[in-house]
Amino acid sequence: MNVFWHRRDLRIPDNRGLALAANDGEVLPVYVVDTDLLKQVGKRQRTFFMNGVRELKRRYRSLGGDLLVRAGTPADVLADVTEEYGADRVYYNRHYRPARRNRQRRVDDRLPTKAVEDLLLVDPRRLDSEYANHSRFYDDWQDEHKLTPFDSPDGDLVVDAADNTGVPDMEADIDLPEAGYRAARDRYDAFLDAGIETYNDTRDDMRLAVDRPVGAVSRLSPYFSAGMLGLREVWADASERYDAATGNARRNIDKFRYELSWREQNYHLLHYNPTLLTENYKHFPNQIDWANDPDHLAAWKRGETGYPFIDAGMRQLNQEGYIHNRPRQNVASFLTKHLLVDWREGARYFAKQLVDHDPASNYGNWQWTASTGTDSVDVRIFDPVAQMSKYDDGATYVKEYVPELREVSADTVVDWPTLPKSRRDDLAPDYADPIVDRNEGYERAQRVFEEALGKR
C-alpha cells in the first residue's frame, strides 16, 4: 500500500501522482492541514482550499474510500500515517514555492517517496534554465510533448480509512466560487461551449467581462490555483477543439492554449529562481528609487485613486477576490509606475485578496508589469486613460464597480483624470480626485527606471 499526499492538487481525475500511486497497489489519500503554510495565503483562498478538501473527501467516500485529514507538519504526519497503516511509500506531486520545496525535502529525508510532475504540462527541467523573453520560452515549450490526462484510480484501490476527522471550518468575507473538481469541470465545459471559439476576439472586451463573465474568459484561475482541475485535461480538450476547428475559431482556440504557456513560464522561473517572490529578477546597476507613499498605497488598495479604470479593478478585487486580466495588468502598472510603489507591496496585497492567488503567476506577473522581470521592454508603462478608452470605452466595467460615476457619460468617465477639478466636483462630488497627475506620474516613472538601468 502507498500513501498519496494531496497538496495543491485537490482532485481525483487527471492527478498524475495519485494515478501512479494506485498503479503500484492500494492507495491511502492524505491531506495535511499545515497551518503555517496556509497562513501564506489570504483567508479567502484558505477558505476556498478547505472547501475543496471537504469536497474531495466527499468524492473519495462516494468511491468507497476516504481522505485522511490530519493537522501538523507534513513530515511528522506522513511518518505517523505510514507507520500506522504499514505503507511502503509516499507519492506526491512536486511543487515549486520555496516553502513547499522545503517541506518536500523534509518528507524525503524521513520517508521513501516518489515525487512526480503534475502541476505543469512541461517539466521545467526539460527546458533551458533561462530565456530572454516569453517568445523564446514558448518556442521550446511548444515543441515539448504534453502527456495525456491520467485516469482516476478504481474505487477498490482506494483504502477506506473510515476517517471521521473533519476539515477545519473557515469563513471568507465574500461569496466564493463553488469548490471541487465537478464545479471546475462544469465551468470549463461552459467555456468550451460558449467562449473558447471567440476567446481571442472577446477576452479584453470589458463590457463582456460584466455581461458574460464566463465565456469571454474561462474564469478557471481559482481552480488552477487549487489544483481542482488538471492542466493535461484542459490542454487535451482545448486541443481536440483546435484540431476540429477551422478559420477564426481555430485562431481563437490557439490563443487560449498559448495563454496557458505564461503560467508555465512563471513556474519555470520559480523553479530556477526561488527568490522570484522576494527579489527583482532583473539586475539593475542602480537601485530603483521607489517613492512608497503609504497614502497612495492605501488609496490604491481602496480603489480611490481617481482613475476610474484602476479603481474599478481594485474594487472588483476587493469585492470578488478576482480581477479580470486587463485591469489586473493596469492596476499593477499604475502602482509600480505612476505611484512608484514597490511591486512587492502590490503582490502581497493580491496574495491576501485573491481567491485565485498562484505564487508563480502572481509574483512573476507583478515583476513583468513592474519592469523588474522578464519583459523584453526595458520600461513598460500602461496609460490608464488610453487603456480604458481602448477596452472599456462604454464605461460598462467602470460603472459596474464605481457607482459614483454611473450618472456620468461614458466619454467623460474615460477622460476623467484629465478633466478640470471643478468639472469633476460638479459631475461626481463623491468620487476621489486623481492622486497623481497622469503625465507627471508617467514621466517620473520613466526617469526613475532609466536611472536605475544606468541610462541617465
Under DSSP, the state recorded for 292 is: -
Distance separating the N- and C-terminal Cα atoms of the chain: 65
Q: Is the pLDDT of residue 336 over 90?
A: yes
Q: What is the mean pLDDT of residues 155-182?
A: 92
State how far the Cα of 280 lies from the Cα of 343, in Å rounded to an integer: 9
Which helix (H) or strand (E) segment holds residue 81: the answer is helix 74-85
pLDDT tens digit string along 261-290? 999 999 999 999 999 999 999 999 999 999
pLDDT of residue 214: 82
pLDDT of residue 37: 87
Q: Is the pLDDT of residue 127 over 90?
A: yes
The grid coordinates listed for 69 are 485529514
State how far the Cα of 69 lies from the Cα of 46, in Å rounded to an integer: 15
Determine the residue type at 309: F
* pTM (2 d.p.): 0.96
Determine which of 150-159, 205-214, 402-411, 436-445 has the lowest per-residue pLDDT on average. Answer: 205-214
pLDDT tens digit string along 297-331? 999 999 999 999 999 999 999 999 999 999 999 99
pLDDT of residue 211: 87
pLDDT of residue 163: 77
State how far the Cα of 170 lies from the Cα of 148, in Å rounded to an integer: 35
Cα 146 to Cα 120, 239, 419: the distances in Å are: 9, 11, 52
Q: Domain map of the chain by residue range? A: 2-118, 181-272, 294-452
pLDDT of residue 161: 84
pLDDT range class, residue 99, cuts 50, 70, 90: very high
Q: Is the pLDDT of residue 363 over 80?
A: yes
The torsion of the CA quartet 377, 380, 386, 389, rounded to 10 degrees, works out to: 70
State how far the Cα of 197 lies from the Cα of 62, in Å rounded to an integer: 35
Torsion-angle region of 443 (φ positive above 0: left; ψ -120 to 50: alpha; else: beta) = alpha
Task: Collapse the DSSP code of 219 into the 3-class scheme (helix H, G, I; strand E, B; otherwise coil) and give the result.
Answer: coil
pLDDT of residue 290: 98
Q: Where are the beta strands (DSSP E) in 58-198?
A: 68-71, 89-93, 113-116
pLDDT tens digit string along 37-62? 888 899 999 999 999 999 999 999 99
Specify the residue for cell string 522581470. Answer: 373
pLDDT tens digit string along 395-417? 999 999 999 999 999 999 999 99
Q: What is the mean pLDDT of residues 5-11?
A: 97
State how far the Cα of 43 lies from the Cα of 173, in Å rounded to an integer: 8
Under DSSP, the state recorded for 335 is: I
Which strands make up the sheet holding 2-6, listed edge to edge? 68-71, 27-33, 2-6, 89-93, 113-116
Q: What is the mean pLDDT of residues 115-144?
A: 96
Question: How, if at all, do strands 89-93 and 68-71 pair?
Answer: unpaired
State how far the Cα of 396 lies from the Cα of 387, in Å rounded to an integer: 14
pLDDT range class, residue 166, cuts 50, 70, 90: confident
Q: Which of 99, 135, 117 is nearest to 19 (CA)?
A: 117
The CATH architecture to which 2-118 belongs is 3-Layer(aba) Sandwich (3.40)
Could you give phi then psi for residue 384, rounded to 5 degrees?
Answer: -65, -25
Judging by beta carbons within 10 Å of its beta carbon (0-12, 13-18, 19+), is residue 401 exposed, middle or buried? buried
CATH class held by domain 181-272: mainly alpha
State how far the Cα of 328 lies from the Cα of 319, in Å rounded to an integer: 14
Q: Is the pLDDT of residue 134 over 90?
A: yes
pLDDT range class, residue 213, cuts 50, 70, 90: confident
pLDDT of residue 284: 97
Q: Is the pLDDT of residue 63 over 80?
A: yes
CATH number of 294-452: 1.10.579.10
pLDDT range class, residue 165, cuts 50, 70, 90: confident
Specify the residue for cell string 495519485. Answer: 18
- % of the chain beyond a pLDDT of 70: 100
Residue 116's beta-bridge partner residues? 93
- Counting Cα atoms < 13 Å in the Cβ hemisphere of 423 gives 10
- 119-129 per-residue burial string, b: 16 or more CB within 10 A, e: under 16: bbbbbbeebee
The answer to whether residues 234 and 188 touch, using CB atoms and an 8 Å cutoff, is yes
Task: Collapse the DSSP code of 30 into the 3-class scheme (helix H, G, I; strand E, B; otherwise coil) and give the result.
Answer: strand
Specify the residue for cell string 515525487. Answer: 115
Helices 308-320 and 384-391, packing angle to 10 deg: 70
Q: What is the mean pLDDT of residues 119-125?
A: 97
Q: Is the pLDDT of residue 383 over 90?
A: yes
Q: Is the pLDDT of residue 14 over 90?
A: yes
The grid coordinates listed for 68 are 485522511
Q: Is the pLDDT of residue 234 over 90?
A: yes
Helices 359-369 and 325-333, packing angle to 10 deg: 50
pLDDT of residue 212: 84
State how far the Cα of 238 lies from the Cα of 199, in Å rounded to an integer: 12
How does the average pLDDT of the chain come out, rounded?
A: 96
